[in-house]
Chains A and B, each alone.
Chain A
Amino acid sequence: MKYSAFILAMAALPAAANTEINGMVEAKCVIQTDTSGVYGNPTADKLSTASSDGGVIPVVRYDVAIADYYLAKISHPTEFSSSPALSDTVTWTGETSVSQTSDAGMSAYDTNKVVYGSTTEFDLTIAGSTWFKTTSTASYGFGKAFPGGNYTAIVVAECIAK
């Protein structure tokens, strides 16, 4: 009888429950293609992404969730991934730099970048998003005209855990 009264009393209490929402922020790097790049053809022997040459500079965005966990390595092209048959050599130049940041401190990335060969390395010491722009120029032979056709080249964007 006592037990029945107790159970009834409990049932009369308003029901309440706590529901937890759990989340975790882990070290993570996301590479995102932000802006399409296009080669302009200002002279017959030159392809260039510079806006003054009629091109569009490609931009890649890196998002890192936690500071100081990743290195960004971006390489400008040193060959065409597809092109018409070329009988002469192509001279490649390029450069990668910071174009936009989500944190003012990231502007130091440009000062501290390390360049070797066609690769530029940035130490991602601050959490957030950084946009990198990569210029690319290809010059053909000695003043020779590039054959007509489609040319494609690849920028390699790497994110390496430190």
Chain B
Amino acid sequence: MSFGIEFVPMELFWKTTYYSIQAEKLGYDSVWITDHFNNRNVYVSLSFIANYTDSIRMGPGVTNPYLVHPVMTAQAVASLNEVAPGRVLCGIGAGDRTSLDIVGAEMSNPVRTVRETVEIIRRQLAREKEGYEGSVYRIKPGAKFNFKVENHVPIYVGAQGPRMLQLAGGIGDGALINASHPDDIERAVAQIRKGAEDAGRRLDDIDVAAYTCFSVAETEKKAKKAVVPVVAYIVAGSPSSVLETFGISVDASEGIRRNLAERRWDEAFGAVNMDMIDAFSVCGSPEQCVDKIDTILKKGVSHFVTGSPLGPDKKNAINLFGKEVLPLFKEQT
């Protein structure tokens, strides 16, 4: 069982690195840095973290092929491997449609694109001389690194929909399930298993990670307050099929979306109710988080990632999780 932490590099590099060192000290296994054009660069963040840590594994969580060509992602993770040998992970996904729209990048054929991206990253890391002929990408023979990559870099496919989850099961070293509710995660694991079996693999061959919206604090009230803004964005961005699963009305979602778009934060966040928080986050006191994580792990997950916002106070949340939650699960394994 592994435990990871996600950071959105909105803060200065040294602060994200400080928290990553803290996570390493407390026994977290992985640190994931998000990749959005409007935040600090993911690989500069990771390089900084690599320089000040010794054992924690790290990677983009996730980058996407629409803004960064797969050969450049391969180059970045291969280079990072020189700074943190054997500790690099690579999370790849289709990206966030809203962010892509802003910069005019079209999310076309996402499953095919991510599949080819994984194949290209692997061939680049292996320094294959042969060309690559895909339906999305074409790489001429001889397009290879002029340096050697000594370590295996596991590739994790970030996924939410059934086809992408199956792809993760079919070709990923790992899967990053973008969900927080045990029922959602159970459905996702079933899809990953199907993808794996269709490809002649077993679920055990894949590191299945629940990549959750997470918040922990001394009290449930504080933890929930911190998670509300993130849940508001999740509700606003969720398709009606997902909302209906949790009994959340499309009207409520549209109302939140409209208020967020018009920057009416009080109205948007005020419309987030307990059902939404329960559906789209893991949050509460340390004891409550232990119970929720325990339920999630029983759904076939081998890696639990605490994603944004982590809690009302980042340093305190990392300490609470590292001291009061994580050890209980590490003892079991």
Q: Do A and B bind each other?
A: no
Chain B residues engaging chain A, CB cutoff 8 angstroms: none
